[in-house]
Amino acid sequence: MKNRSSYDKIFEKVWGASGGWAVVMCPCGVVYSITCNLRAESPRDYADMLLSWKHFPNIAIYDFARGLATHTNLREPENLPFSPHEGRLAEATADNLQLAAEGRLKVSLPWLKTKKTGHPITGSSDHYTLYDGFHERNTKDAKDALRRIALVPELAGWVNSQCAEQLFSDMRKNNYFLNTLTPSEHIFMMRNMLHHYNTKCNNKTKTSIQKVVGRDVQLQLDHNGQIVIGTAAQIATETDETTQSGE
């Protein structure tokens, strides 16, 4: 929008339009949370979903990361969800900002590979919100240079930050019949389709892992939904032992 007049004309056309669907996904493609937006998309929708989780994710990748961090922390001021550094990877000092802008700052997050105490999966109590690769240079705040995926060696070149865009691009072909359904039917059908989508993603991942470890090795899901090697009985026993030792 080059001028206010053009902006106002476009805004009048979309005012009151539905915001569609918003999802929270794993980089592997599995959809963990979904909500129907009756208004235009905003960080509020994603904060609602993330705050409903039993364990807040350590890293959230979003196209307006600064807005998500600010909104979520304002809602929980006594226990800031995104911390330290307001969800940035480092303190917003002049030196860190210059190094990040030049691409010379690296912030290692070893708990992504080696668990410590804290979160049940990563073991970390740190929570960051980063920009996806497509939108990271659209921001005008210099401090947002500390929210780039490329700063983290464990994520750079590995994490798929466009999985949500890819999902909706694939789902767009269903609009012709979803838009003819009643609201309740639409929600039911969307959840059903995503259930099959998740099952397909999990089976694809399991198949790729099975090719690496061999067909004679049994793979099961543990209590966190992660694929592990071993029988279901062994996994249940290990989980019970861990719970008892923790108590």
CB 130 within 8 A of CB 149: yes
E strand or H helix at 129, and its extent? strand 128-131
* pLDDT tens-digit profile, the chain (247 residues): 567 777 666 666 655 555 678 899 988 889 999 998 877 788 999 999 999 998 899 999 998 999 999 999 999 999 999 999 999 999 999 999 999 988 899 999 888 877 655 667 777 888 999 998 777 777 788 898 999 998 999 888 888 888 888 888 888 888 888 888 888 898 999 999 999 999 999 889 889 999 988 888 888 877 777 788 875 445 444 445 444 444 3
Give me the residues paired with residue 33 across strands: 24
Integer Cα distance of 48 and 70 in angstroms: 13
Longest dimension (CA), the chain: 67
Domain ranges of the chain: 16-167, 216-247
Q: Work out whether strand 20-25 and strand 128-131 pair parallel, antiparallel, or are unpaired.
A: unpaired
Q: What is the DSSP letter of 132?
A: -
Inter-helix orientation angle 43-51/65-75, to 10°: 50
Q: Identity (one letter) of the amino acid at 19? A: G
pLDDT of residue 10: 67
Cβ contacts of 144 within 8 Å, gap of 6 or more: 65, 66, 131, 136
SS (H, E, C) 53-97: CCCCCCEEEECCHHHHHHHHHHHCCCCCCCCCHHHCCCCCCHHHH
Q: How many CB atoms lie within 10 A of CB 80?
A: 16
Q: What is the pLDDT of residue 69?
A: 95
Q: What pLDDT score was predicted for residue 40?
A: 75
